[in-house]
Amino acid sequence: MIPTLHFSEFQESWLPSVLGDIAKFSKGKGLSKSELDPDGKISCVRYGELYTRYGETISQPISKTNTNITKLVLSEANDVIIPASGETQIDIATASCIMTDGVALGGDLNIIKTSHDGVFLSYYLNSKRKHDIARLSQGISVVHLYASQLARLTLRIPSLREQQKIAAFLSAVDKKIQLLQLKKKLLGQYKKGAMQKIFSQEIRFKDEDGNDYPDWEERQLRDMDIYIADGNYGELYPKSDEMKSEGVPFIRANNIKDLQLVWDDMKFIDEKLHMTLKSGHLKFDDVLVTTRGEIGMVAYVDKPFEYANINAQICLLRCGPSVSSYFLLQYLHSAGGKKQFKRYETGSALKQLPKKSLGTIKIPVPRIDEQTLIADFLKTIDGKLLSIRKQIAVVIQFKKGLLQQMFV
């Protein structure tokens, strides 16, 4: 048997095997959270990090310890580790290859030692065999996975040379993803620093003649040229059976991401109900603010969502001619805006920000032409961030396709 997608120089069938016949198993040794030390001399991996922080390879462990080396189980390069316990079957079905010797491997880790390529094995186990591993695990509140169960796992293995080529290729794809994620992180940090300096007025824009703009005025939202409405419709609020699979988008907090509205997990209402719920009709250039649950998430309403509606978790802000909506969006998303959201929220189990309290939030307001310059500058950065996020999504999707087609 040969995978659908393979390198042309390899035409040999992948041979059936059982993991217990090609590997030896052992366990890591307990390493408590109190034993971690950011200045420690020994790198270490704990089982919880395996399915939250790492991919198929671990080159630079994030944790360190100064625990006596005689009390530790240390890795050999090419070891593959899989959690021995976890919260769900899918979480526990996660493999990573340790790329260096001498990494301390914590308790509740299954260690797989093999003469085959460990990176290849990790990609293989995390794709074609993930659900098989999940089915092997046992337990309800805590799921366990034992070496004796892993040993029964059936595989199909190509030659070592083909394993190495597949591993190198997929590692290169992951490297591309990591570089894009780093680029996004650094640009995000740049934007955060720029926003801090702009809204503290440490740096100022100048007019077209090179002159300073007038001083900013601090004003409350309710005193600005801004219309505020929400999706609290009382008895008219849509019931669960009134939600549709298509129709008018009914925006909820989980449709807000990275200052934008997204279609993921979108709910819809019909046109008749939409026309009844008039206060929540969106227009292009509106700004949305979440006022229940996670307070203060904000989003800009772009053209595709111009005719949408909002639920009870959200308020809309519609700016008049003297206020740039994108400037307002960025300030509300800044550290100063978030601090005020925190100050005015109420409730414990369910956080809330009443519409009246939203109106009391203070905004440092420059003249409209300076607002526009600030908005355009930050919008350019947001455009670059969006482009990087799209690139990341494309490469991740590409990787998923590869994992489906390069293994059997």
Which domains can be identified in the chain, with CATH numbers? Answer: 15-158 (3.90.220.20), 159-210+366-408 (1.10.287.1120), 217-365 (3.90.220.20)
Phi-psi region of 210 (alpha: psi -120 to 50; beta: other; left: phi over 0): left
In this prediction, residue 217 carries a pLDDT of: 96
Environment class of residue 356 by beta-carbon count within 10 Å: exposed (0-12), middle (13-18) or buried (19+)? exposed
In this prediction, residue 11 carries a pLDDT of: 93
Environment class of residue 8 by beta-carbon count within 10 Å: exposed (0-12), middle (13-18) or buried (19+)? exposed
The greatest distance separating any two alpha carbons of the chain, rounded to the nearest whole angstrom, comes to 78
Side-chain-side CA neighbours of residue 394 (13 Å)? 8
In this prediction, residue 286 carries a pLDDT of: 98
The residue ranges of the chain whose pLDDT is under 50 are: none
Express each pLDDT in 209-248 by its tens digit. Answer: 999 999 999 999 999 999 999 998 888 899 999 999 999 9
Quote the radius of gyration of the chain (alpha carbons, Å): 27
In this prediction, residue 235 carries a pLDDT of: 87
Where b means 16+ CB within 10 Å and e means fewer, 180-190 reads: beeebeebeee
In this prediction, residue 373 carries a pLDDT of: 97
In this prediction, residue 299 carries a pLDDT of: 98
In this prediction, residue 1 carries a pLDDT of: 87
This prediction has a pTM of: 0.89
In this prediction, residue 260 carries a pLDDT of: 96
